[in-house]
């Protein structure tokens, strides 16, 4: 094993050492599971070591969280919002160091690492306002001297299982809303980003403890599939939010539903950008570059299919190849690059195998297509011309691989967009109102995110984030997503002396 690197300043400031206990249980740090290493994808050198959670750690942690939920649910929602506001302040104080850690451990370029922490800060701000707006309704009753209304109460505990590509932001989408709604949080971070899990937990629990609240309100575990399965099976956790592949998500959903729990699924994407014949080509090319190459293609909202009207096909392709050629490979000394490494050596191997499958199905490589010789997990951003009927087009290869295809009519393009099992994000580039509104309507895109003249990625927190079909159907972050984290009761109050029944029923 490589020796652990000397702890740098940004790690020390976040309380990260050479070896770290990987779970926060009932207000204290521990870990009695496996010893794992956190690795920098840009050079595959060890950053630090972490002792993961065992099942015994899990059992004790969730019981402590369950007891803490009895305290947290009693705290008024605006007061809960004040705690989340303080979490946002603490994240602001650690923005640069935390962003640098996230960039180093996940493999994002520095601006994306800092941007991800900023997204959690923004979610804190959003949740603070929401804490005073968890409103029910007063519903007109058909019976005299009766009032109907809705009451919203906490679920108790929300389980959050996050993926490596957004090791902090997705936690923020869920935890900020869950906390102001009166729920405790049990979090299992990705096994390959344990330092992000530890750093985030230290920031949140410090705020809780400073306010004389149980640290167990926010309970976290670094661990593998056995911890995730324990969360899925635990009847003390009414809602499980899972982010990951459709295959694993389906298994989690089955386990949770078997115990009549609720799921919030954010699964695979296979997103398309449609380029109409009236599109602004310069704007389109810039958008496609960010959407297809950003985060090395490891976003669920990455553009994987580019559908171009046949009349401008070559013009768009030529300009796209020019900007691809200009893209710099990221390293810690290059701050203006876009292309980061893949997260693990296995990801790099999957890219190489995926290219061979693509070629076997008739894919023609127009740019890239190879791994890059280096210590890190770098691959070339790749453009491939392929038939929309090739089976591989319906699958998600989590790498910077872009399929390009021609179309003749808008209806044909929409059909191609909707032809894959996934349904997360989609975008069209056009100037025509009639095209835009057909795209947004019932016979347009079947995705949860439907954009016009912007990329498939880069969603704002104010809108509900999520997709349809094999993407899972969940919604996180803004709009009315908060309702998934609460229990709704329809309440009827009779303030009169008679007992009239609904629908005019009379039992005499």
Rounded Cα–Cα distance for residues 492 and 86 (Å): 38
Give the N- to C-terminal CA distance of the chain in Å, as an integer.
83
Tokens 């949770």 map to which residue? 256
CB 505: neighbour CB atoms within 10 A? Answer: 7
**Residue ranges for the chain with pLDDT beneath 50:** 1-7, 333
Residues 6+ away with beta carbon under 8 Å from 508: none
| 389-407 tens-digit pLDDT | 999 999 999 999 999 999 9
Tell me if 401 sits within 8 A of 351, measured CB to CB: yes
Tell me which of 60, 112, 266, 396 is the catalytic residue: 266
- Predicted model pTM: 0.95
**Is 266 one of the catalytic residues?**
yes
Domains of the chain (ranges, CATH numbers)? 9-267+472-489 (3.40.605.10), 271-462 (3.40.309.10)
Query: Could you give the angle at the alpha carbon of 119 between the alpha carbons of 199 and 27, nearest 5°?
Result: 30
């Amino acid at each position: 094993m490589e020796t652990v690197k000397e702890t740098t300043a940004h790690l020390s400031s976040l309380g990260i050492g050479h070896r770290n206990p990987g779970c926060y249980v009932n207000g204290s740090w521990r870990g009695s599971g496996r010893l794992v290493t956190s690795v920098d994808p840009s050079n595959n050198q060890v950053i630090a070591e972490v002792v993961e959670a065992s099942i015994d750690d899990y059992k004790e942690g969730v019981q402590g969280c369950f007891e803490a939920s009895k305290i947290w649910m009693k705290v008024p929602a605006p007061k809960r919002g004040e705690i989340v506001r303080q979490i946002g302040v603490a994240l602001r104080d650690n923005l640069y160091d935390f962003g640098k850690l996230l960039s180093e451990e996940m493999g994002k370029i520095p601006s994306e690492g800092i941007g991800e922490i900023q997204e959690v800060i923004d979610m804190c701000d959003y949740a603070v306002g929401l804490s005073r707006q968890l409103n029910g309704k007063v519903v007109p009753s058909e019976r005299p001297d009766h009032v109907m209304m809705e009451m919203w109460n906490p679920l108790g505990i929300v389980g959050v299982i996050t993926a490596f590509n957004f090791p902090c932001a997705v936690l923020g989408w869920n935890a900020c809303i869950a906390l102001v709604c009166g729920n405790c949080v049990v979090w299992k971070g990705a096994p390959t980003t344990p330092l992000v899990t530890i750093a985030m937990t230290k920031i949140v629990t410090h705020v809780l403890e400073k306010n004389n609240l149980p640290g167990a309100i926010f309970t976290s575990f670094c661990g593998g599939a056995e911890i995730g399965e324990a969360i899925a099976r635990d009847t003390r956790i009414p809602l499980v939010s899972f982010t990951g592949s459709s295959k694993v998500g389906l298994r989690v959903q089955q386990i949770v539903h078997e115990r009549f729990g609720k799921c919030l699924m954010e699964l695979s994407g296979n997103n398309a950008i449609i380029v109409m014949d009236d599109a602004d080509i310069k704007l389109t090319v810039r958008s496609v570059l960010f959407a297809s190459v950003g985060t090395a293609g490891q976003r669920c909202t990455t553009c994987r299919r580019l559908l171009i009207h046949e009349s401008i096909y070559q013009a768009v392709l030529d300009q796209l190849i020019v900007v691809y050629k200009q893209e710099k490979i990221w390293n810690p000394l290059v701050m203006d690059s876009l292309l980061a490494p893949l997260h693990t050596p296995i990801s790099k191997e999957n890219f190489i195998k995926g290219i061979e499958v693509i070629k076997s199905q008739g894919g023609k490589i127009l740019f890239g297509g190879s791994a890059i010789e280096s210590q890190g997990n770098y691959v070339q951003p790749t453009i491939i011309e392929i038939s929309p009927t090739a089976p591989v087009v319906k699958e998600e290869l989590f790498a910077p691989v872009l399929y390009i295809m021609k179309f003749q009519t808008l209806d044909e393009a929409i059909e191609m967009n909707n032809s894959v099992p996934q349904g997360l994000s989609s975008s069209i580039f056009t100037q025509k109102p009639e095209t835009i509104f057909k795209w947004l309507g019932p016979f347009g895109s079947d995705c949860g995110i439907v954009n016009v003249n912007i990329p498939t990625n880069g969603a704002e927190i104010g809108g509900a984030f999520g997709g349809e079909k094999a993407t899972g159907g969940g919604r996180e972050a803004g709009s009315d997503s908060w309702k998934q984290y609460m229990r709704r009761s329809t309440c009827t109050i009779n303030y009169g002396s008679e007992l009239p029944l609904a629908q005019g029923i009379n039992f005499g």
